[in-house]
Amino acid sequence: MKENVQISLVQFSSEMLAPERNAERMAELVLDEADRHRAELVVFPELSNTGYVQSARDDDFARRLYAASETVPGPTTERLADAARRSGAHVVAGISQRHPRIPDLLYNAAVLIDPDGEIAGVQHKVHACRDEKEYYVPGDRVATFATSLGRIGLQLCYDVRFPELARVQALDGAEIILSLWAAAVQPGHVPEGSIIARCATRAMENALFFAGCNRTGTDDGQVFFGRSAIAGPDGGTLAASGSDREESIRATLVADRLSAQRRYLTLFRDRRPELYAPITAPLSDPATTLTGTA
């Protein structure tokens, strides 16, 4: 991992089904973060090119969502690639992605673009949440991506509730995991510290940097609450937003903090994978049912 990495999380408010305008604004924000704050890694939320899905299945919305979605590479990634080349920054954004061959099939994707404007990685959301199942097919692989900043893993929102995913990425060498969110306020409840807590937990469990970038604004009556956060390898908060407004939070990721934490607690040496088979077994498999007496 690079000795110091300047990261900016942009709490972007997407305009519903307006990919051209969203791409233009995101490109401007990349240039601004790099110019004014020396950002080397600029991160946008889930589904930044199209906005989030409606809360109930609607054939007309599905048609318009597919029309607004894009291939990768495509118009939004090309616009962000130009901004990456001009700024010298890495860019990560959530994209509603068309399947390259199969019509009317969509992925909820996180795309990593390097400073040369090349697509350095694509991760599809593995765990579709609630109404997303009506529009997106889940991803079928987990990967990490080598960059000049370090090895980066990507996740999308609901994925963070499955700690196995972050562990798989850590075992593949991830030093930084970026989680792109489109998390809305639940009825009667604003989860003030939910992103901070999840980032801190995943970071501490794997002794790496973990950042959660949530969107803001409203779509179809849903209110997205922002409150993005960045956690260090010991679980400490490096930066956090207390706001549901469009803003950026920034931090310096110091490689020595990762090394020091992994020397202090030898998490990966101390694993006992021979005991973890039930995690990957089907729920109905009786051969892996936990038995014994208390």
> Could you read off the pLDDT tens digit of each residue along the chain, which spans 294 residues?
999 999 999 999 999 999 999 999 999 999 999 999 999 999 999 999 999 998 767 889 999 999 999 999 999 999 999 999 999 999 999 999 999 999 999 999 999 999 999 999 999 999 999 889 999 999 999 999 999 999 999 999 999 999 999 999 999 999 999 999 999 987 666 677 789 999 999 999 999 999 999 999 998 888 999 999 999 999 999 999 999 999 999 999 999 999 999 999 999 999 999 999 998 888 876 555 555 544
Q: How far apart are CA 280 and CA 206, in angstroms?
A: 19
- Within a domain: residue 294? no
CATH number of the structural domain spanning residue 94: 3.60.110.10
User: Residues 73, 79, 81, CA angle at the centre, nearest 5°?
Assistant: 70
Question: What is the value of pTM for the model shown?
Answer: 0.95
- Within a domain: residue 74? yes
- Within a domain: residue 63? yes
Q: How far apart are CA 99 and CA 161, in angstroms?
A: 26
- Within a domain: residue 293? no
φ/ψ of 207, rounded to 5, equals 50, 55
Residue 285 has a CB neighbour count (10 Å cut-off) of 11
Residue 132 burial by Cβ neighbours in a 10 Å radius (0-12, 13-18, 19+): buried
Q: How many separate domains does the chain show?
A: 1
Angle at which helices 194-206 and 163-171 cross, to 10°: 40
- Within a domain: residue 126? yes
Task: Note down the domain range covering 51.
Answer: 4-288
